[in-house]
Structure 1
Amino acid sequence: MSVTTATIPKGRSLTQDKPHRTVTAWLMLALAVAVALVMAAPFLLLLLNAFKTGADYSAHGPLAWPTTFTFDAFADYLGRVDYPRALFNSIVSSAIIAFAGTTLALMASYAIGIGRIRANTLITALLLIATMVPHESLIYPLFYGAQATGTINTIWSVIIVFTILYAAYGTYILSSVMSTFPYAILEAAAIDGAGRWRILWQVVFPIVRPTLTVLVVFIFIWSWNEFYIPLVLLGDPASQTVPIALSTLRGQHSIDVTVLNAGSLLSLIPTLVFFLIFQRTISRGVTAGAVK
């Protein structure tokens, strides 16, 4: 039996049943394209000026098309900055901060949301307040603390500081998720003889893993872009991250804009690639967190 002859009425085709876009749909599409272009404009401007010479930029300005595409700005940047070392420091520190901060947040939120410790609401509020404190107000105790522990001018000073800060933020986020965790699952695991540690890693962790993955990706990107605290704690060029190494291009009285654009592009590419790789993971994590 032919399915097409049985289901499609005579005189009609499959194309006639396709929905047509309304005027409102086309307007929304045009608005989305316009917003996308506005958001992409800074990156396109950065890309355009990174391949110019200094004389070309001075003569025609930032919005003009380059007269000749050249890699002189990239070569100049790599000659001034130890980019491979800075890239290594950024990758190592951001990865450790992301995974260590998420792990601490998972264990702390498990105790607050599922363990039902006393004053859990007060603790969550304190963690929220801690994430709202400006970094400028923390710099003095952090600087002297890094000096006292011998971690000043090493990436470990940044790793310790941001692991704690992002763990506090992650605990605030995950504790609200843990508080709505189905109690029947926990009770069934306890009846089967599972302890709290086993419940955490074999019951809770697999369920909240999509949310944890999203948190890891966001913490990695946030810690990569941190500037103020690493600028103070990482004075040694051998320990500097990519944003700090980029800031050394700014002179006291002048600045080479094309070299700065080339360095900014090189510092942006790793996070852009990282985000594109884990884009599907982020989408799945958000979807999993929205549907029970």
Structure 2
Amino acid sequence: MSLTTAPGGTPVDTAPRARTRDPRRHGSGGWLALGLVSAAALLMLVPLAIMLLNAFKPPGQYSTEGPLSWPTEFYTDGLRAYWTRVDFPLKLWNSTLIAGSVAVFAVAVSLLNAYALGIGRVRGRLTIVGLFLLANMLPQESLVYPLYYLAKEVGLYNTRLAVIIIFTVIQSAFGTYLLASVLGTFPRSLLEAAALDGAGSWTILRRVVLPNVRPTLAVLLVFFFVWTWNEFLIPLVMLIDNQTQTIPVALASLQGDRLMDAPTTNAGALVSLVPAIVFFLIFQRTLSRGITVGAEK
């Protein structure tokens, strides 16, 4: 840095300043990537647009003109039929209770498991983490019969608690694998400093580890909720009563063997999608912040 003296005696920095790149200026590659991403986003919205188009279309027009025709009238009987036929408020409560409980419990179990594996350094850590990775690769079809038999034996069949326990274990397997990798690189100096101050294991977890991994936990919470909300196979097998079924199972009940009411099915799918979209929009900033913090670390 070079300084010169102004006429008033004030030193002035005359060193050349580094030019900063204007982030608003994109090269051809940046505009191309932006165009591809925009096209992909529009392509992903096509099924949603078709579903919205057919949710308010009369059945007769759907049969004669097909799913891509513009509705000639605003048909709402399908929406009302779905709302009353499947008792949508009850199914909404069941799905929210199951998905919300699984998200909270799975995050808690994942944190405790990962704390023991990533920071506690238990013996055989790599083998245990590998088993959690293997558990994530098992298809749900291979788990249906053992889970069905076990739920029958313990008296939890056709209860929401059975589905909550099952998906808490399934989701926490992925959460444990992810968090164990994150906590495996946790700065040992912070842990040693807390231990020198007399902090025990629970204090270190609550005051040192938890504040640093809270963004990652928020991301897992959102993912676990959405994943559990969309689950179909295990709830279909485990929940046979109308009082315990979830929204995806209720949607499947609209399809008959030889006849399907397309407007009612599309209206039901549209209404069933709204809560998940609202939940995602509410926690979108939390999700973005968690991913950004993880990238910076």
TM-score between both structures, scaled by the size of structure 1 = 0.92
Structure 1 runs of 4+ aligned residues shifted over 2 Å read: 17-33
Q: 1:159 aligns with which of 154, 161, 164?
A: 164
Q: Which of 246, 252, 266 is equivalent to 1:261?
A: 266
CA displacement at 1:291 relative to structure 2: 1.2
1:90-110 CA distance string (max 9 Å, x none): 001101100100100000000
Indicate the residue corresponding to 1:118 in structure 2: 123
Alpha-carbon offset, residue 32 of structure 1: 2.5
1:213-232 per-residue CA deviation (whole Å, 9 max, x = no partner) reads 00000000000000001100
SS in 1 for 2:243: helix
Any idea what the Cα deviations from partners look like across 1:213-255, whole Å, max 9, x if unmatched? Answer: 0000000000000000110000001000000111100101111
Determine which of 144, 147, 152 is the counterpart of 1:142. Answer: 147
Corresponding position: 1:242 with 2:247: yes
Secondary structure at the aligned position of 1:239 is classed as coil
Counterpart-to-counterpart distance in 2, 1:18 and 1:232 = 52
CA drift of 1:26 comes to 4.1
Q: Distance in 1 between matches of 2:27 and 2:243?
A: 58
- State the match for 1:106 in structure 2: 111
- Structure having the larger proportion of residues in helix: 1
The one-letter code sitting in structure 2 at the alignment partner of 1:258 is P
Residue 171 of structure 1 aligns with an amino acid whose one-letter code is: T
- Quote the Cα distance in structure 1 between the aligned partners of 2:227 and 2:23: 43
SS of 2:256's partner is coil
CA RMSD after TM alignment: 1.4
Identical columns (%): 51
How far residue 21 of structure 1 moved from its aligned partner, in angstroms, is 5.3
What CA distance in whole angstroms lies between the structure 1 residues aligned with 2:168 and 2:23?
A: 52
Identify the residue that residue 201 of structure 2 maps to in structure 1.
196
* AA of the residue aligned to 1:281: T
Q: Could you tell me which residue of structure 1 aligns to residue 19 of structure 2?
A: none
TM-score by length of 2: 0.90
CA distance in 2, matches of 1:154, 1:18: 54
Give ranges in structure 1 of 5+ residues lacking alignment: 1-16
Flag structure 2 segments of 5+ consecutive residues without an equivalent: 1-21
Report the number of matched residues.
276
How far 1:31 sits from its partner (Å)? 2.4
Structure 2 partner of 1:84: 89
SS at structure 1 position matched to 2:293: helix
* Other-structure match for 2:133: 128
SS at match of 1:208: helix
Query: Structure 1 residues 32 and 81, CA, compared in 2 at 3 Å: closer, same or farther?
Result: same
